[in-house]
């Protein structure tokens, strides 16, 4: 892949250059020293991937990401060494269309390079999303366990469950939806956003400051509860267990984006005993589409963000093409649809058993 580097620090540029060229299939397309230069270069020479720093002179990485995605869209990976104190910039850049974020590799005094493996793994994942890889992966969910007394209790309480999956552009989309949810809504939320583990806790805190709900990183053994939004918060896949607790799994290991929306949606379809609400937001690729179809077949209300308000109309389009969507809605209308459904529709027992 042709990869561009946007960074004003010479040492960081050299570390990134060495990391990129250590893989024989990657080349450096060009280097820009600030965001404005990156915008200009991208207009005339669009690379496969841009490694975008955040804090730069002239124009920062957030504004550069916004302008590139508006005029010369391509895959952008935020690569920064200055997350502390600027974590909101990571999620703002992702809200404008950056795919993910990772720490800048460090070039030591002895010439050794640390952090290159993590960077190259992110680039590889992006390669799958943009069609630069020929391999593929299918998410399979199997659950042979029977439902537990906790599930039977839910049949009496009829608690609503709302599950939301997002990727490119997802942070700001999630923030907009959650900001409109009243704190006393009788519903539990689970959020799956493609974000690296090193940013997940800060992302939960960032979302928590933008909603009346309690947004928390999901930990093994926690259970959906009203007023709380659990966020997938590791590089493993979040899933629902038969006892209705949340857990993490490395499997399926071949799934490129972690945590996977499909893995969680399919596990919810297999384990949650009631109908619920599922929304698939802006994002590149197809993750979540098959899981949304599984939930729709089980009687859930399924919602996809529309093309006009999506930063990247990939995941919602894939779901629509599969006939997995009950409603296609603009982003500002999704929270209202969720609230109205929770207040006016009582959850029902699942229509069918999902294998």
pLDDT digits (tens, 9 = 90+) for 315-342: 999 999 999 999 999 999 999 999 999 9
Q: What is the pTM of this model?
A: 0.88
- Report the distance separating Cα 52 and Cα 5, nearest Å: 7
Active site amino acids: 167, 194, 287
pLDDT at 150 > cutoff 80: no
Task: Tell me which CATH code domain 149-344 carries.
Answer: 3.40.50.180
Give pLDDT tens digits for 16-56. Answer: 999 999 999 999 999 999 999 999 999 999 999 999 999 99
Q: In the structure encoding, which two tokens stand for residue 295, read together?
A: 């939930």
User: Which of 125, 118, 138 minimizes the C-alpha distance to 75?
Assistant: 125
Same fold: 2-129 with 149-344: yes
- Domain chopping of the chain, boundaries: 2-129, 149-344
Residue 293's pLDDT is what?
A: 98
CA dist 337 and 306 (Å) reads 14
CATH classification code of 2-129: 3.40.50.2300
């Amino acid at each position: 892949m042709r990869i561009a580097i946007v960074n004003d620090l010479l040492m960081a540029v050299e570390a990134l250059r060495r990391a990129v060229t250590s893989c024989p299939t990657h080349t450096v397309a060009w280097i820009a020293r600030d965001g404005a230069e990156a915008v200009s270069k991208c207009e005339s020479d669009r690379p496969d991937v841009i490694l975008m720093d955040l804090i730069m002179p002239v124009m920062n990485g957030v504004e550069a990401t916004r302008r590139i995605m508006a005029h010369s869209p391509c895959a952008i990976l935020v690569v920064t060494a200055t997350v502390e104190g600027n974590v909101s910039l990571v999620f703002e850049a992702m809200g404008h269309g950056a795919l993910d974020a990772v720490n800048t590799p460090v070039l030591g005094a002895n010439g050794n390079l640390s952090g290159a493996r993590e960077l190259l793994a992110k680039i590889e994942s992006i390669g799958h999303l943009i069609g630069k890889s020929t391999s593929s992966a299918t998410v399979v969910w199997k659950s042979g366990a029977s439902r537990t007394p906790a599930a039977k209790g839910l049949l009496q309480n009829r608690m609503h469950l709302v599950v939301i999956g997002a990727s490119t552009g997802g942070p700001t989309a999630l923030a907009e939806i959650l900001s409109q949810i009243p704190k006393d809504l009788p519903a539990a939320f689970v959020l799956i956003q493609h974000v690296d583990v090193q940013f997940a806790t800060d992302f939960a805190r960032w979302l928590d400051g933008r909603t009346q709900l309690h947004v928390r990183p999901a930990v093994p053994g926690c259970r959906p509860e009203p007023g709380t939004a659990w966020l997938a918060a590791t590089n493993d896949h979040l899933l629902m267990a038969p006892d209705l607790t949340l857990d993490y799994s490395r499997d399926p290991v071949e799934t490129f984006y972690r945590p996977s929306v499909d893995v969680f949606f399919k596990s919810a379809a297999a384990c949650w005993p009631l109908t619920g609400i599922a929304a698939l937001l802006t994002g590149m690729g197809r993750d979540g589409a098959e899981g949304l179809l599984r939930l729709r077949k089980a009687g859930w209300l399924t919602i996809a963000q529309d093309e006009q308000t999506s930063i990247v109309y990939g995941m919602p389009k894939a779901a629509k093409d599969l006939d997995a969507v009950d409603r296609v809605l603009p982003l500002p209308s999704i929270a209202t649809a969720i609230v109205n459904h929770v207040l006016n529709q009582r959850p029902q027992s699942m229509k069918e058993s999902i294998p």
